[in-house]
A and B are shown apart, each in its own frame.
Chain A
């Protein structure tokens, strides 16, 4: 075997080895990204497609996690697509980038290599105006068709634009209050291009949605077959629909009851998280991350602070978070994972017909956990608990309240006792009840077994993450595959099911609930042991404007919904500010919708809401 030998080991090489192999194969097209604080390689966009195939097939990076654009206006004046790929068997991330002009931005589409790039490339087109030749369905995804401009470009300004970066000068010391509406003629957050033509004004967003489905009556087919007419029917679901988990919309074509194609339409909750995030300082973004996946805000905080801590660790004055801080983080994240899964299972049952009884049972437990969050972090949902290198505050001695309003009733619990009771009794009991109620329920089994099947290959190729990926038999959990925080020393199993259907995803979630309880059981003694230790490495809270060194970072965590990644580019000294240059969220809810189309094909209309429910999306994160 003279030449075929390297094929097998190549899929096991380290990241450096992989880069070396690529450099050897494509010496002209690949250069190392040697900007300060950056990593990975820059690929010539002319050969991107070939190289991507090599990366996937020869090097084994079969999972494209994140693909995002960066606008380097004033810093090279180019657009850049940044791809994060890794192996579904575990290990680090291969970062590769392709650059293009700002004016005529064009980068070959990678959809033919990784289907998971589909929505992400559409997003880059929508927000950055980068065209992707070869993309099968390149149209706007978050904004509507016909919107003026590509809003994430650095030189695009919104109607209420005030200043490039926060904090705004108008707030202090001469902060005479005004509302942004007062500065706009229309009193609204709108601005129109100069060349607006009102005589031919029409809403093109709807037609664009339907055009992509190739609709329109095919007369020949209709009149065919002995006068017996069958028509494909278009069914629109959402954005206001009781089972779309928010303002999500699906346009289906059905043949009888059977779905022949499904097109997700989103952006109804696109609230410009990233644009605002690039104006914010690093600190400002933490409470904004709460509002991404608003069911599990602790996990969002965690991913973001990990990414920024990665950047901070490039600098000199950086202290690792203390052990107690890490333990508290893990505890909070696991509690919010429990909340997330209880919520997901409950609402999935709503979707498949068990209307509200299971939800009401499960969110009872959520209320207790939220009470705990409220007492520790200050808010039930928007916890805003983590800080760079630390936390907002340590656990209070007692979870207690003070009477303030009329008829206020006071509660007072010992924190550790409350936690212990939660972890050892209440949550396991709820999970038992959940299983008793559902796992063997014949109706549930008949509704969900064999429905919404996603094969392992498709799950990987479509960049599915979280329970959706593990429900398809891929044992990929970032807590194990690429451990962060103190997960390495904790004892838990990766939940996995092979069937790839709705029921398998449900089973994965139940298993993860149990694993979370197992983790929490290990965390509690660690909290007792570290009692008295500061949550800050140097004993005092971090600064509100940390000096973040130049560079890029990609921090990812296993959130309830899947891989939550934050890609952050620090301008560091370039702009001399505490604001990120690029702030991108690799949202699991968003990317998990990519396989929605193939998962629904061939199933009945009534299964669609169930399939969507089993993916478990939150619109705040889908649309950002």
Chain B
């Protein structure tokens, strides 16, 4: 009969309309709940249709692999030997693999000898050119440049805000570990340490001379930090890069740090004696 197709379609829109209220009833007051159970389900595959994200009041947290503009990793402020030091060695690979060539690096030179030193003197990223492709992070051999998750960057003036310099780009290692715990963990495994490669090298050098059988830090940092309980905690202060959310891991790091200090002391004693 003419019109049945039309009626069927209208029925569907009616069903969508009713469904939206059913969803309202289903989630009701839990709408603004923080928990994965509510938000995750509402924004997941099990809900019917799609439910509006009330943006400034609730934001869809971006997944770990999300990439926006890059940032540079520096060592945490509380690191015993390398506090605040760049992970970047200014090897220039990121600048080479950058498709639109938006990375500018001034390699540092030793003021006395004039020879290159493994840290950047200046580092710029023009975010008006950056295409968020993530190559710099992917091909960095030192895990020193990462893609940030902070997408709230709108500004009123691009001449002063859109070339990120080293100060603006630098964020502590703990920040990276807080926004991408699983990937930071995987990188740690391949690197063999939570710290920068160089720190590990220094540590190993110390070990082989004193106690070759000492376990490598990798072995100690056992369980994957990917515990849902940890992520469900409310957001830590955003870009300040404060403390990491997992205290268990902190303890381990503390332990390692203590051991490193002990080793250092032993070495010094050895040299002295």
**Chain A residues with a Cβ under 8 A of chain B:** 166-168, 170-177, 179, 280-281, 283-288, 290-291, 357, 361, 364, 367-368, 371, 374-379, 382, 384, 392-393, 396-413, 418, 421-422, 425-426, 433, 436-445, 541, 544-545
Contact = CB atoms under 8 A, between A and B. Distances in A.
Contacts of A398: 226
A288 B5 CA distance: 43
B238 interface: yes
A173 B123 CA distance: 10
A374 B66 contact: yes
B156 interface: no
Interface stretch (B175-183, B196-204, B208-216): B175-183
Contacts of B27: none
B44 A403 contact: no
A378 B135 CA distance: 11
B61 A364 contact: no
Given A404-B149, A413-B45, A425-B45, A392 B107 contact: no
B61 A171 contact: no
A411 B59 contact: no
Contact of A172 (B96, B231, B235): B96
A179 B101 CA distance: 12
Contacts of A418: 44-45
A234 B72 CA distance: 57
B271 interface: no
Given A176-B106, A421-B45, A436 B9 contact: yes
Contacts of B9: 436-438, 441
Given A174-B106, A408-B61, A287 B95 contact: no
Contact of A544 (B16, B96, B104, B234): B96
A442 B107 contact: no
Interface stretch (B49-57, B74-82, B260-268): B49-57
Contacts, number: 231
Contact of B150 (A364, A404, A441): A404
Given A404-B149, A544-B93, 18 more contacts: A171-B92, A172-B107, A175-B95, A179-B126, A291-B131, A367-B50, A374-B65, A375-B64, A392-B134, A400-B228, A403-B233, A405-B150, A406-B59, A408-B59, A408-B60, A412-B36, A412-B228, A441-B9
A361 to B, nearest CB: 7
Which of A166, A378, A382 gathers the greatest number of chain B CB atoms within 10 Å? Answer: A378
Contacts of A281: 97
B65 A377 contact: yes
B101 A171 contact: yes
A410 B232 contact: yes
Interface in B36-51: 36, 39-40, 43-46, 49-50
B90 interface: yes
29 contacts: A167-B98, A167-B101, A171-B103, A171-B105, A172-B92, A174-B106, A175-B105, A175-B122, A176-B104, A179-B126, A280-B99, A281-B97, A285-B99, A367-B50, A368-B45, A371-B43, A371-B63, A375-B65, A396-B64, A401-B62, A401-B63, A405-B149, A407-B235, A408-B235, A411-B44, A413-B44, A421-B46, A436-B9, A442-B6
Contacts of A421: 45-46
Interface of B: 2-6, 8-9, 12-13, 16, 34, 36, 39-40, 43-46, 49-50, 56-67, 90, 92-93, 95-99, 101, 103-107, 116, 122, 124, 126, 131-135, 138-139, 147, 149-150, 152, 163, 178-182, 226, 228, 231-236, 238
Contact of A407 (B58, B99, B106, B147): B58
Contacts of A413: 40, 44-45
Contact of B40 (A167, A176, A368, A411): A411
Contacts of B104: 170-172, 175-177
A396 B66 CA distance: 12
Contact of A177 (B63, B90, B150, B163): B163
Given A396-B64, A544-B93, A287 B135 contact: yes
A307 B74 CA distance: 39
Contacts of B95: 167, 171-172, 175
A396 B61 contact: no
Contacts of B98: 167, 171, 284
Contact of B180 (A170, A364, A402): A402
Contacts of A367: 50
B52 to A, nearest CB: 11
Contacts of A440: 4-5, 8
A283 B163 CA distance: 24
Nearest to B237: A406
B131 A364 contact: no
B102 to A, nearest CB: 9
B107 to A, nearest CB: 3
A396 B12 CA distance: 36
A286 B97 CA distance: 11
A392 B137 CA distance: 11
Contacts of B135: 283-284, 287, 384, 544
Given A175-B95, A176-B104, A442-B5, A402 B181 contact: yes
A215 B126 CA distance: 48
A172 to B, nearest CB: 4
B62 A400 contact: no
Nearest to A409: B39
Contacts of B58: 407, 409
A418 B90 CA distance: 40
B238 A405 contact: yes
A173 B116 contact: yes
B236 to A, nearest CB: 8
Nearest to A403: B235
A159 to B, nearest CB: 16
Contacts of B65: 374-378, 393, 396
Nearest to B116: A173
Given A177-B124, A410-B232, A442-B5, A405 B49 contact: no
Contacts of B34: 409-410
A398 B65 CA distance: 11
Nearest to A578: B96
A426 B233 CA distance: 30
B99 A403 contact: no
